[in-house]
A and B are shown apart, each in its own frame.
Chain A
Amino acid sequence: MLGLMKQISKAELFLGFLTIGLLGFGGVAPWVRHVIVEERRWFSDKEFAEVLGVGQILPGPNTVNAAVIIGDHFQGPIGVLLCLLGMMAMPLVIVTALAAVYYRFASIPELGAATSGSRPWPTSSLPWVSRLSPCSTGRWCR
């Protein structure tokens, strides 16, 4: 599905998605794009928009579907496993640590402020989404 014939190693796939998982506060979507398109340049905005589009209409979380598609494209089924493992590993560790801490210190108001202060973040999927739209209509790309 992706035209690019670039070779991405298994290690690179895993590390890339590990980074995405580590950074993905409020949702990984903006970081999937930042790491894959801008930082590591695995493929272009247009190709990425296609992957996300397919991920959207399929059941399941869009970014998880994107990880499946990207992993399979570069390294087949092993790639899929590496991408998913990479993306989920740190979040799982962090979320359980957070939960343990939260219930211990539930009365600290800063925690409440921190959790609600990081929540407007999901809405910033908006701007990077509009960055993609000129690409997907094929008119001009960054």
Chain B
Amino acid sequence: MTGVLAELARTFATLSLVSIGGINVLLPEIRRQVVDVHGWMTDAVFAHTFAIASAAPGPNVIVVSLVGWQVAGWPGLLVATLAIMIPSCILAFFAARVLARWSDSRAVAVIKDALGPLGLGLMLASGVSMVRTVDHDALTVAISVATAVFVLTSRRNPLWALAAGTCVNIVALHVG
């Protein structure tokens, strides 16, 4: 048991430090580690795991937690979650403090000004690429667009749009 836990910890702690741009970038590598390298589950089971993790709320790292749970129960979930989070969180903690301490310097001010648009560009790109992979027919594209419009124009909780999208898809399943 401890062998598996140690493997989980080592695998995800390493991934934590290279996951620039978030977990979606890392997904192919996670799949490779989980299915090919360690053989913890088959491709099909991994796909199901990812689908469940996507349906659940929370940051997308939750897929790592679910992998841990399937591999080694509750201890596995705990170890995997801590492993994927602790290294990057420690780094973020110190990086943010360094930035704050040097916030008077001109160089840091320039960096901070650039980071906003940079981050937005990255997010826009990942949003577009997600539309391409996830939306496979006219209906799902329509759901994406409608959700986007809703979030842009309304100050209401985005959960309404999500519920609507889910219901529409379920209805479409029965009708289409």
Question: Which residues in A have some Cβ–Cβ distance to B below 8 Å?
Answer: 1, 21-31, 34, 38, 46, 49-50, 52-65, 68-69, 72-73, 77, 80, 84, 87-88, 90-92, 94-96, 98-99, 102, 106, 109-110, 112-133, 135-138
Contacts and interface: CB of A to CB of B under 8 A. Distances in A.
Given A38-B155, A68-B89, A95-B52, 19 more contacts: A1-B112, A52-B119, A60-B16, A60-B91, A61-B23, A77-B93, A90-B57, A92-B77, A94-B57, A95-B53, A99-B69, A116-B140, A119-B134, A120-B134, A120-B143, A122-B127, A123-B147, A124-B144, A126-B131
Interface residues of B, number: 84
B155 A23 contact: no
Nearest to B117: A136
Interface of B: 16-23, 48-49, 51-62, 65-66, 69-70, 77, 81, 85, 87-89, 91-93, 95-97, 99-100, 103, 112-120, 122-124, 126-128, 130-131, 134-135, 140-141, 143-144, 147-152, 155, 157-159, 161-162, 165-170, 172-173
Q: Which of A23, A50, A123, A130 has the most CB of B within 10 A?
A: A123
A61 B59 contact: yes
A133 B58 contact: no
Contact of A98 (B52, B134, B161): B52
